[in-house]
Amino acid sequence: MSDTHQNMGKKVMFPAILGNLLEWYDFAVYGFLAALIGKNFFPDGDEVTQLLAAFAAFGVGFLVRPLGAIVIGRIGDVKGRKTSLTLTMFLMAAGTVAIGCLPTFNSVGLLAPILLVAARLVQGFSAGGEWAGATTFIVEWSPEKRRGFFGSLQQATVAAGLLSGSLLTALLTSALTADQMQAWGWRLPFLLGAVLGPVGVYMRRNLEETPAYRQAKAQEHTVNKPKTSVAVKMAAKVFGFSVLWSIAFYILLAYMPTFTQKYAGLTRGDALWSNSIGLLVLVVTIPIWGHLSDKWGRKPLLILGCVSFVILPYLLFSLMVASPGFTTVLCVQIIFALMISLLCGPGPAAVAEIFPTNIRSTWMSIGYGLGNAIFGGFAPFIATWLIEKTGSPISPTYYLSASAVAAVFVVMSFRETAKQKLA
């Protein structure tokens, strides 16, 4: 890549990265407010039933992610990365603002949870195209020898989006009474999307298309696309790795505030502050591992991350339950953040480098979207269900570690691409 392209790349990546942060703030804030949403939209039944219903609605948003991945990923390959990213930003903002405006069960009865699910479906459709779309755009604009670092910024801003939602929710929980939070305070993080969404859409409408995409379009009549069977095998590798990635991300980040309140002795405010500190560590460490993956390679770091999830979750969850309290939980969440960052740092570049440019957006979206839909989105629901059925707060770790064992073998099948030219 020429110096001109490198300078242009750094300039255009900022709005893409910032838009990614806003997108994932919108999508993730639901998880931090699940308990309050359950009480407002699913009032019948006990607390566990309400929580399961709220997390089921959270997971529903992931069911349409594969559809969003196919449609928006295809738009990214046919119409351009800029078009797909602008579309995802608009849809996510619309779904988020809708949730903040919805009437509750006490106002409209069963229509309330139906509307909630509909809004989550819009968010999920958008998220299906966002992750791969933003990853593709950033990696394709990255300097040749720094794809790991710049690609990691995509995942760092996903974590930053979650951090923003966690911090805002923590501030509101500390500033408002429990009754105020349940009555109207829970709406405020969603309504903020009415301000942030248009900002994100505006920034993305002014993006410059990637050089790799422009070159691929110029050569589309002379360069053959890989056969479908080959593309499916590539997407299957992304799927296999994304299973652990998704479960780890959503159990240890979106679900953890709920877990630490119920089983580790934390108040709602302490749980959110602890989670926010863990997310801050994650945001800081992801680019470090991304940078090191440019020097050491993607596979060694990814394998180390997978192995850590085979060994450590049971021990760390056991520690939280046996020695509850803020200090214990905070230490555990920092360790989990370091573990997740081993996946998130090299991960975006590693999966983008599997595909050639002319099919990257579509097939990476499909592989990653399916892994999220089937395993990640319902991870908080499955964790809650496992605890309810087994009576053991440690049981979610079995789900986590089993996915890590499978991921080790998947990552071992990856080609090392850190030093290779982007196809």
CB 408 within 8 A of CB 125: no
Among 2-16, 136-150, 169-183, the range scoring the smallest mean pLDDT is 2-16
- Full residue range of the structural domain in which residue 366 is found: 3-412
- Give me the pLDDT at residue 28, please: 72
C-alpha distance across the termini of the chain, in Å: 13
CATH number at residue 293: 1.20.1250.20
Tracing tokens 């360069």 back to the chain, one arrives at: 223
Residue with tokens 């309504």: 191
The whole-angstrom separation of Cα 127 and Cα 118 is 14
| pTM of the predicted structure, to 2 decimals | 0.84
Q: How far apart are CA 150 and CA 152, in angstroms?
A: 5
Give the tokens for residue 190: 């969603």
User: What is the rounded CA–CA span in Å between residue 299 and residue 38?
Assistant: 41
Query: Is residue 46 classed as helix, strand or coil in its secondary structure?
Result: coil
Q: Is residue 343 part of a domain?
A: yes
Residue appearing with tokens 């990923």: 73
User: What are the Cα distances from residue 374, in Å, to 28, 206, 334, 406?
Assistant: 17, 34, 27, 15
Answer whether residue 419 is part of any domain: no
328 token code pair: 């214990």
Which residues, in sequence order, are CB contacts of 308 under 8 Å at separation 6+?
339, 342, 404
Average pLDDT on 49-60 reads 78
Instruction: Name the more confident of 14 and 248.
Output: 248
The tokens of 258 are what?
């709920």
Check whether 62 has a pLDDT greater than 80.
Answer: no
Relative orientation angle of helices 326-344 and 228-249, to the nearest 10 degrees:
170
**Is 268 inside any structural domain?**
yes
Taking only the tens place, the pLDDT of each residue in 331-386 is: 999 999 999 999 999 999 999 999 998 899 889 988 988 888 888 777 888 888 89
Say if 423 falls within a structural domain. no
pLDDT in tens, 225-264: 888 899 999 999 999 999 999 899 878 777 888 889 989 9
Has residue 421 been placed in a domain?
A: no
CB 112 within 8 A of CB 104: yes
Q: Which two three-digit tokens encode residue 98?
A: 């809708």
**In this structure, is residue 338 part of a structural domain?**
yes
Residue 417 lies in a domain: no
* Residue 147 CB neighbour total at 10 angstroms: 28
Average pLDDT (166-172) is 87
Number of domains in the chain: 1
Element of type H or E holding 400: helix 396-412
Residues in the chain: 423
Residue 189 CA to residue 263 CA, distance in Å, equals 26
DSSP assigned state of 79: T
- How far apart CA 166 and CA 242 sit, in angstroms, is 23
